[in-house]
Amino acid sequence: EVQLLESGGGLVQPGGSLRLSCAASGFVFSNYAMSWVRQAPGKGLEWLSLISGGGDQSYYAESVKGRFIISRDNSKNTLSLEMTSLRAEDTALYYCAKRSRPAGAYAVDYWGQGALVTVSS
C-alpha cells in the first residue's frame, strides 16, 4: 500500500524558514517523480515543484522560485521541501504527491494527507 506521510509543518514567523519532509513507502521511490502541491485555506490547489525520480531534474512555480528547494533522498525514501523567506501568503496545507512516471508532469496517483504551514507573527 502506497503511503506518503508529511511532517515538519507548524507556525513560523514571516521571513523564517521551515523544512517539510515526506516519508514514502509501498513503492519503489526512486522510480517515480514527486511533487509538492499546496492549498491555502478555502482556496484551490497550487502546484509548487516537481523532482524527477533520479533527482536530476526539478521545476518550480514562479511564486516559490528562489525561496523553496525540493530534494529527495532515494536511499531513505524521503522527499523534502526547504522553505525560506516565508510570507503570510505561504500559509497553506502542503501536500506531498507521487507522480505516476519517473519524470515529467504525469498524473499524481497518490497524495499525502498534508502538512499545515502557518506563517504569522
Partner 1 sequence: QSVLTQPPSASGTPGQRVTISCSGSNSNIESNHVHWYQQLPGTAPKLLILADTQRSSGVPDRFSGSKSGTSASLAISGLRSEDEADYYCAAWDDSLSVEVFGTGTKVTVL
Task: For the segment 86-105, give every residue that binds partner 1 (CB under 8 A).
Answer: 95, 100, 104-105
Strand, coil or helix: 80: strand
Which backbone phi and psi does 29 adopt, to 5 degrees?
Answer: -55, -45
Q: How far is the CB of 60 from partner 1 (least distance, A)?
A: 8
**What's the sign of the alpha-carbon dihedral 66, 91, 81, 102?**
negative
Which of 112, 115, 117, 119 forms a contact with partner 1 (CB under 8 A)?
Answer: 112
Task: For the segment 21-80, give every residue that binds partner 1 (CB under 8 A).
Answer: 35, 37, 44-47, 50, 59-63
Distance CA 115, CA 90 (A): 12
Q: How many chain residues interact with partner 1 (CB under 8 A)?
A: 24
Tell me: does residue 2 bind partner 1 (CB under 8 A): no
Q: Which of 120, 113, 116, 107 is nearest to 47 (CA)?
A: 107
Which of 49, 80 has the CB closer to partner 1?
A: 49
Which of 25, 106, 116, 120 forms a contact with partner 1 (CB under 8 A)?
Answer: 106
Contacts of 8 (CB under 8 A, 6+ apart): 18, 19, 20, 21, 115
Binding site for partner 1 (CB under 8 A): 35, 37, 44-47, 50, 59-63, 95, 100, 104-109, 111-114
